[in-house]
A and B are shown apart, each in its own frame.
Chain A
């Protein structure tokens, strides 16, 4: 056998921990985003809602509005989703806090300083004395997350969304192709529609638009859009505004480094709001992602833009009493947290106050999260020199989640045992 063939076969024998988890949709930045984020395009909204409401039996997301703020107004009649036997506290259905990951790694971020991990999260705009925050049932939640959500299942729906997306970019669809994969169910092999790809063109350029079964719509732009200067960013967002459906877009950039010290940045865009809680929800659950490529010269261009179902898949449950940042910090130090970080990456002293370098409030609402609920997300500095293969000077922060909803409203809190799969 030739050397390259030997290598290819040998790769199939390495320890399972090195295998890429192709079912881990949340682990990759794109898929995590795809499950949780996206804009509500005004032109798209009606079609999307129509398709979605058909699938979920007419439930529509009741979202925070100035008439339905997070301070408890409008929370008197929580929606238990019609579920019989749901335990309630003060009229609110008990919810679960959990951290389901499909990845074989853990959630950690490397940088030379914690300041590099700034990510544009607007949570500090929420008054620190806020005692109640909204919680939503995630209608896209599935325990079969490895297959993704069934947001669009019919080719004609995908085609209609693609045509509207093309129109929002000033283009028209030239051709479409349905993408399928083989699937075996009940011993019968079938073809499962996974996405529809539309080649589009207009006066300003062309685009490949993909509408996926999971509800994600992406546009691969040609030519790409310069995105370095303030003027370029404004111009790019103008072009994309109808596609994204944002009236007032906010750009949030974040980055972390690999073990070689190379910086990887992520750019997402979300809709601004006067309501700070709504703004946080937009940031966490309804943002769109821009992928960049090197542009002409030293700059970078936006090449692909993705948007997801956004807040459409969230069904308002009620306003839930929440703990303060200080209370959450104390819970973290008591070991009341959820994490994927292995225990042996911490020093022997474990999590101590001086290792908590950053905290933020987030809503997690991927396909694996049954509820879109707030969590305090702590950045805890892991032991120095971990991993040993990283370049000198790099530090590593593990991510630890503390449920913000008060514990009496939680049905269960599975705490990570520190083991590493």
Chain B
């Protein structure tokens, strides 16, 4: 079923929308949830929450690209679940690794960004990146994919992924430092 049809079903408040979403994006959401939570049980519960969350959000939302939309919802739910539980089950370590890597760029100071509009700053930074480094960066820190999985998905070497991530983190650091200076 096409995305537009699924969205139309949500707007019609038809429960078929949920069934169609599960069929089309169930596996996709489960992968993202498992990248963050590791445990199959936690991931399953998280994915189950996704359908309700989306049911309550559409309408009024009318997403054009459901894969990205579901991706955002499951990612946020999984991160919230992880933060609440504060557990480090198998696989949950992927988030810790990503946090360590990002600490290279922004440190671990509490509430370091204050009133900075991080969303806006990040969008401008991402917009300045080339398509390839941006995709690598987002696969790693948005979807929490391992370097070797990114490499396999994009047809490049894991070393190339590592190099790109390192370079982008440095650029992010410079970018955010510049942002600070501007303020």
Contact = CB atoms under 8 A, between A and B. Distances in A.
Given A10-B122, A29-B155, 8 more contacts: A3-B113, A4-B102, A16-B69, A19-B72, A22-B139, A29-B154, A181-B27, A294-B159
Contacts of A29: 154-156
What range describes how many residues of A lie at the interface?
35 or more
B134 A182 contact: no
Contacts of B131: 105, 258
Interface in A276-332: 289, 291-294, 303-304, 306
Contacts of A264: 132, 156
A370 to B, nearest CB: 15
B142 to A, nearest CB: 5
A87 interface: no
Interface string A16-38: 10111111000011110100000
Interface stretch (A89-97, A170-178, A185-193): A185-193
A104 B34 contact: no
A12 B65 contact: no
A115 B53 CA distance: 51
B159 A293 contact: yes
Contacts of A8: 79, 95, 98-99, 102, 141
B67 A21 contact: yes
A12 B76 contact: yes
A54 to B, nearest CB: 24
Contact of A258 (B28, B76, B108, B130): B130
A1 interface: yes
Nearest to A191: B40
A84 interface: no
B99 A185 contact: no
Contacts of A22: 28, 31-32, 67, 71, 139, 143, 153
B44 interface: yes
Contacts of B132: 258, 264
A11 B172 CA distance: 13
B122 A30 contact: no
Contacts of B142: 11-12, 19-20
B8 interface: no
A204 interface: no
A8 B118 CA distance: 10
A147 interface: yes
Interface in B103-158: 103, 105-113, 118-119, 122-123, 126-135, 138-139, 141-143, 152-157
Nearest to B32: A22
Contact of A30 (B23, B71, B106, B153): B153
B101 to A, nearest CB: 8
The 9 nearest A-B residue pairs measured at CB: A30-B155, A184-B26, A3-B112, A10-B118, A182-B30, A29-B155, A183-B27, A19-B68, A4-B102
B126 A14 contact: yes
Nearest to A264: B132
Contacts of A181: 27, 30-31, 34
Interface string B71-112: 110011001000000000000000100111011011111111
27 contacts: A2-B109, A2-B112, A4-B99, A4-B102, A6-B111, A7-B118, A14-B126, A18-B123, A18-B126, A19-B71, A20-B135, A21-B67, A22-B71, A23-B28, A23-B67, A31-B155, A104-B65, A146-B24, A146-B67, A181-B34, A182-B31, A184-B26, A186-B22, A187-B22, A293-B159, A294-B159, A421-B64
Contacts, number: 180
Contacts of B141: 7-8, 11
A65 B126 CA distance: 49
Contact of A20 (B109, B139, B155): B139
Given A4-B103, A8-B102, A14 B122 contact: yes
A16 B72 contact: yes
B47 interface: yes
Contacts of B98: 8
B59 interface: no
A396 to B, nearest CB: 11
B43 interface: yes
Contacts of B26: 183-185
Interface in A349-401: 389
A197 to B, nearest CB: 11
A186 B131 CA distance: 36
